[in-house]
Amino acid sequence: MRRRLFASTLHLVAQKGPAATSIDDVIQAAEVSRGTFYKYFDAPETLFDQLALVVAHEMVLMAEPAVVQLKDPAERVGTGMRLVIHLAAANRSVAGFVVRLGWPSGADMPALQEFVQRDLKEGLRQRRFTEMPIRLGLNIVSMTVVGAVHAMLAPRAPRDFAEQAVASALRALGVEPQEAKRIATMELPSPHPLEGGLMVPKLPTRAAKRPAP
């Protein structure tokens, strides 16, 4: 039942935005009673906040098994960003939701703290990245993801926009331009499917191939 409420809300918020999505909209779309809604959530805002965490958590967990195979922390960060961006682009409701509600902060999201922060810290330790506060590094990563997803919702988004965005983020983290481009155009591994997840673990065909120069 909780998943049904999440799935219905995901589509509604992607289409209408959180401010225009009411409890009545959610219970009608999910075909549940008002009492059932309040059994799980005390207000629409609570539902939105929890759903944002679930969506972000799922994307990170789907990317992590592929990312962890890479030894270089810069490659991990770059590949993780690309996987999340392309996963969202392949799931339009997820993309619309992420754009409208943004990306949860690391403090609220254990997976972001555990995996992304791990790779940023290792990149700083190995001097792959310029010395900076971890929070700034997390902001660069999360804002790049949200901005790229937003841009890729446009009908005529550049074919390699995700790769351009990731290369820019890597440069902001301190990676040399040519190295950033190399990492951002590496062959993209497949995401890991999650049983009972809200997203289809399939990337667009174009995402799995290196963009043409």
Q: Would 46 be classed as within a structural domain?
A: no
In total, how many domains does the chain have?
A: 1
* Residue 23 within a domain: no
H-run or E-run covering 36: helix 34-40
In this structure, is residue 19 part of a structural domain? no
Q: What is the pLDDT of residues 146-200, one digit of tens each?
A: 899 888 888 888 889 999 999 999 999 999 999 999 999 999 998 887 776 666 5
Write the CA distances from 128 to 41, 73, 84, 173, integer angstroms.
Answer: 43, 8, 22, 8
Question: Is 3 part of a structural domain of the chain?
Answer: no
pLDDT, tens digit (0-9, with 9 covering 90-100), for 20-34: 888 899 999 989 999
Q: Which domain range does residue 93 map to?
A: 54-208
The answer to whether position 151 is within a domain reads yes
Q: What is the pLDDT of residues 60-79, one digit of tens each?
A: 888 899 999 999 999 999 99
Which residue has better confidence, 47 or 99? 47
Tens of pLDDT, residues 87-146: 888 887 777 777 776 666 555 556 666 788 999 999 999 999 999 999 999 999 988 998
Distance, CA of 92 to CA of 98 (rounded, Å): 10
Domain for residue 37, yes or no? Answer: no
Please enumerate in sequence order all residues whose Cβ is within 8 A of that of 136, keeping only pairs 6 or more positions apart, or say none: none
List the CATH number of the domain containing 172.
1.10.357.10
Tell whether 108 is covered by a domain.
yes
Q: DSSP readout, 131-185?
A: S--HHHHHHHHHHHHHHHHHHHTSTT--TTHHHHHHHHHHHHHT--HHHHHHHHT
Within the chain, what is the greatest distance between any pair of CA atoms? Answer: 57
pLDDT score of 211: 46
Whether residue 40 lies inside any domain: the answer is no
